[in-house]
């Protein structure tokens, strides 16, 4: 039973995120979309229909989340008042509801922090191994698994469009297209150098090794954003796809590599059987990278967004994963830590992502681990 209070609160608290989300305006837009869907010919333009359907999905997610939390909050406050009046059944129900309300409030706060222009977009994730040979390639492979497992947990679609195997283990590099609402806004927390400390499985003397790998994330740009790529600025190379595959994947020159001379950006795609499909995907990645580069200049965030250009070695890491002699994952930007290293490596990244978003919103102030306000 809830106790230690002589009377109910004189004033009930209420959810205050409604203004931030502008739920009423989003509701009106959803009604407009429903009217558009009923128009003749709407579905004939598949590209426009897909864009509007994504907008609808995002709006429905926000409205549903806010409405649900508002209802839970109102119910909790009523139960709490009844509990203060001595109703033990209401006290028990309030205690059962509280964890659910807390979880959903945390999700609402996270959505409120995702207010960047491209936060809602899909993401393009590039992973590169650093100094350390086999150890770093294996670590890059572990990071690729961590990101793809996180995507699975979120219900996002992760497509590996390019990869280069390590000489003995893991990967030298990989590019993953992540499709899901707010994929970029969440995954931008992973931009930078990641450090691993463990007993090496490749060292016969079982010594402790430190490995480094980097993650870069760019927002996928849609057709509404014009990015001009001139033919004279582009070199297109075709080659045979690597890795396991079936039928024509490995028997024809279907893989495509694009080199953009002005920016120095090189992207590749080899996961499709068709050279044309690989070229289209590679061009989409290139345009996203160019857009991200321009946004970095415009908003003066070059240091953060180009963190993969730092030395992938000691002193430049944004997060450390220690597996020996103790278990700890620490984000060096905001101080957030977790002792559940194995679960983090299995894709349990949400707490680190929330801590990063809150750290950004507070102007770079340290976030305490285990803070209930995250």
Find where tokens 């002792």 sit: 339
CATH for 123-224+301-361, among 1.10.3720.10, 3.30.2350.10, 3.30.70.1660, 3.50.50.60? 3.30.70.1660
Domain boundaries, the chain: 18-113, 123-224+301-361, 231-286
Determine the straight-line distance between the first and last CA of the chain, rounded to whole angstroms. 27
Model pLDDT, residue 367? 58
Model pLDDT, residue 59? 85
pTM, 2 dp: 0.70
Average pLDDT, the chain: 83
- Summarised one tens digit per residue, pLDDT across range 251-302 is 567 899 999 999 999 999 988 878 898 998 999 899 888 888 877 776 554 4
CATH for 18-113, among 3.40.50.300, 1.20.58.410, 3.40.50.2300, 3.90.550.10? 1.20.58.410
The span from the CA of 127 to the CA of 143, in Å, is 8
Q: Quickly state the pLDDT bin for 117 (edges 50, 70, 90).
A: confident
Same fold? 18-113, 231-286: no
Q: Among residues of the chain, what percentage have pLDDT more than 90?
A: 46
Residue 317, CA atoms < 13 Å, CB-side half-sphere: 23
- Summarised one tens digit per residue, pLDDT across range 20-31 is 567 888 888 899
Model pLDDT, residue 131? 77
Model pLDDT, residue 147? 98
Instruction: Please state, as a whole number, how many other Cβ atoms lie within 10 Å of the Cβ of residue 339.
Output: 12
CATH number of 231-286: 3.30.160.20
Model pLDDT, residue 222? 66
């Amino acid at each position: 039973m809830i106790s230690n209070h002589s009377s109910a609160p004189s004033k009930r608290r209420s959810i205050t995120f409604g203004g931030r989300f502008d739920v009423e305006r989003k509701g009106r837009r959803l009604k407009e979309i429903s009217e558009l869907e009923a128009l003749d010919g709407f579905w004939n333009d598949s590209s426009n229909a897909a864009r509007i359907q994504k907008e609808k999905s995002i709006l429905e997610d926000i409205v549903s989340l806010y409405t649900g939390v508002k209802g839970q909050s109102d119910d909790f406050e009523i139960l709490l008042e009844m509990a203060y009046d001595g109703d033990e059944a209401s006290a028990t129900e309030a205690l059962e509801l509280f964890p659910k309300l807390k979880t959903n409030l945390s999700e609402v706060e996270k959505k409120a922090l995702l207010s960047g222009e491209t936060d809602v977009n899909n993401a393009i994730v590039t992973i590169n191994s650093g100094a350390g040979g086999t150890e770093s390639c294996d670590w890059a492979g572990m990071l690729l698994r961590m990101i793809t497992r996180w995507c699975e947990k979120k219900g996002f679609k992760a497509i590996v469009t390019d990869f280069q195997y390590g000489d003995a283990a893991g990967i030298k590099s990989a590019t993953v297209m992540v499709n899901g609402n707010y994929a970029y806004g969440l995954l931008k927390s992973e931009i930078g150098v990641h450090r691993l400390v463990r007993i090496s499985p490749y060292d016969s003397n079982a010594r402790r090794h430190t490995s480094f790998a980097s993650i870069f994330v760019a927002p996928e740009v849609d057709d509404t954003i014009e990015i001009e790529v001139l033919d004279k600025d582009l070199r297109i190379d075709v080659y045979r796809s690597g890795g396991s595959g079936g039928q024509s994947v490995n028997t024809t020159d279907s893989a495509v590599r694009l080199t953009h001379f002005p920016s120095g950006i090189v992207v590749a795609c080899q996961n499709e059987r068709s050279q044309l499909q690989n070229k289209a995907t590679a061009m989409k990645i290139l345009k996203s990278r160019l857009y991200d580069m321009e946004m970095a200049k415009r908003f003066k965030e070059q240091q953060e967004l180009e963190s993969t250009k730092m030395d992938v070695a000691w002193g430049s890491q944004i997060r450390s994963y220690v597996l020996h002699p103790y278990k700890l994952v620490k984000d060096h930007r905001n101080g957030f830590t977790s002792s559940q290293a194995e679960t983090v490596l299995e894709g349990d990244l949400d707490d680190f992502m929330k801590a990063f978003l809150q750290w950004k919103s507070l102007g770079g102030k340290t976030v305490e681990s285990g803070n209930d306000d995250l």
